[in-house]
Amino acid sequence: MDISKKQTAILQKFAPYIERFDARSFVWIFLLSLVILVGLYALIQQIVEGHVVTGMRDNVVWGLYIVNFIFFIGISYGGAILAGMLHLFKVPWRRPIMRIAVLTAFISALIGPIFIILCIGRFDRLHYLLIHARLQSPIFWDVVAISTYLIGAILFMYLLMIKDFAIYRDSDVLNLPPWRRNLYRALSLNYQGTESQNKQLAISKNLIALIMIPMVVVVSSVLSWIFGMTLRPGWHSTIFGPYFVLAAIYSGAAVIVIMMWIFRRAYKLKDYLTDKHFAYMGYILLSLGAGYGYFTFSEYLTSWFGSERWDSEVMEKLFNPAEYGWWFLISNIFSIIIPIVVVAFKKLRTPNLISLAALLLVFGMWVKRYLIVVPTLETPLLPIQDTRPEYIHYSATWVEWALSFAGLATFILFFIVMAKLVTIVTVSDYTEKER
């Protein structure tokens, strides 16, 4: 198929990054693999000894694993819905961002559900979820939601890559080993750029982008209902559906900004990911942050003002500096105030500061998920009246931390590998007519 001069130029620019692994990548891969290996060792401990090696006990039955699950799956939902909107609305500055967005969605969708499996006492019986499925359980809804979503996310990513696969296949600029060419040949599904192929592909891409948007709203709501459906203070809230949807998009957008910053630096992409792109993503962060701040305020104001006994007990823990007060404050400063301030003032609106704000935001959102899961479980309706400290307060063990960091390392590792397989900007989007 025809590859324009502009596209050839982009391919030349990216050739060193996708042709081979350089020394730096190897160092990263080695270090990340070490982290993952430690996680695997922790996993073996958990399998052999049982869940007693975690910090979870009869009151706090869910811990870091569920926190990480919401965190990663939220990032994925965010990446997918943003990519869907950018594509559907034909946002002119989307070209260098789309690939990063769909990769973020795809990779975190693979990692999130792993943490559910880690949290389950009998993952040897995981298939019971299908063969003994019960329609009325929100967990079954989530199984359906996540598996449907995963298929959608993979299709979305793939459809946006087909043209690029054809370009890699046919380009003589890239010096690729035969197996790579064959791989791209297979993946490009004989795309030749004919008119009918273009039309079909365009319709498919629009359709899947259109589907992804309501799908993300549904699946993140389903996730929130796992908490919202229980009779627990801090969880039993009607706002949880939209709150989770917005929080997911927000953290997904922030991770996209962080990945943009990393690749701009590592691949020297200043001409592609310009300051403007960061500013535009910053505006998205600002509006989402304002919405997220509004939801947060609304949720805690009503609980605090109504001051029902159980709500008050959880509130008390979130406001008390001796319990979760500092974390609650840090979470809200990092994920609401700092991003808004950084983007609102022109002087602060630089790629570096926006990315730093995004990093703090993502951390703040992780803390927020922890504050959703743990304090509520530490506040059952009946007094705990136990003398074993681990039954009163949750404190994650090294096993849970090791597996959490292994999850993060897997995310980065997958990104490095995917960035070798495909260019980090969508080459085929850079056509002559669309500037």
Partner 1 sequence: MSELSENGRRDFLKKGALGVSLAAWGQLIFSCSSGEGGEAAAEASDTVKLLTPDGELVEVDKKHLKHIHKVEKISQQEARAGIPGKKFVMVIDLARCNNARKCISACQAMHHLPSEKEWVTVKLMKDSKDGAPYWFPKTCFHCDNPPCVKVCPVNATYKRQDGLVLIDSERCIGCKFCMTACPYSTRTFNWGEELDIPADTETHPHNPETSVPSRPGTVEKCDFCPDMVRMGKLPDCVTACPNGVFYFGDQNEDVVTNGSETVRFSQLIKDRSGYRYMEDLGTEPRVWYLPPRDRIFPVERGYESLPDEVKERYKNVGLDG
Contact footprint for partner 1 (CB under 8 A): 49-54, 56-59, 61-62, 119-123, 125-126, 128-129, 132-134, 136-140, 143, 226, 229-232, 377, 380-388
Which residues have a Cβ under 8 Å from the Cβ of 126 and sit 6 or more positions away?
Answer: 117, 120
Closest distance of CB 179 from partner 1, Å: 41
**Which is nearer to partner 1, 377 or 422 (by Cβ)?**
377
CA distances from 334 to 141, 297, 321, 329, 337 (A): 32, 15, 17, 8, 6
**Which is nearer to partner 1, 129 or 183 (by Cβ)?**
129
Closest distance of CB 57 from partner 1, Å: 7
Would you state the torsion angle of the CA atoms of residues 49, 71, 418, 399, taken in this order, to the nearest 10 degrees? -20
**Which is nearer to partner 1, 320 or 431 (by Cβ)?**
320
Please state, in angstroms and rounded to a whole number, the distance separating the CA atoms of residues 273 and 265. Answer: 10
Closest distance of CB 384 from partner 1, Å: 8
Please state, in angstroms and rounded to a whole number, the distance separating the CA atoms of residues 209 and 215. Answer: 10
CA angle 163, 168, 171 (to 5 degrees): 115
**Which is nearer to partner 1, 82 or 143 (by Cβ)?**
143
Closest distance of CB 126 from partner 1, Å: 7
**Which is nearer to partner 1, 171 or 379 (by Cβ)?**
379
Helix (H, G, I), strand (E, B) or coil at 134: coil
C-beta separation of 55 from 373 below 8 A: no
For CA atoms 403, 407, 408, 414, the dihedral sign is positive
Closest distance of CB 376 from partner 1, Å: 9
**Which is nearer to partner 1, 229 or 412 (by Cβ)?**
229
Closest distance of CB 258 from partner 1, Å: 32
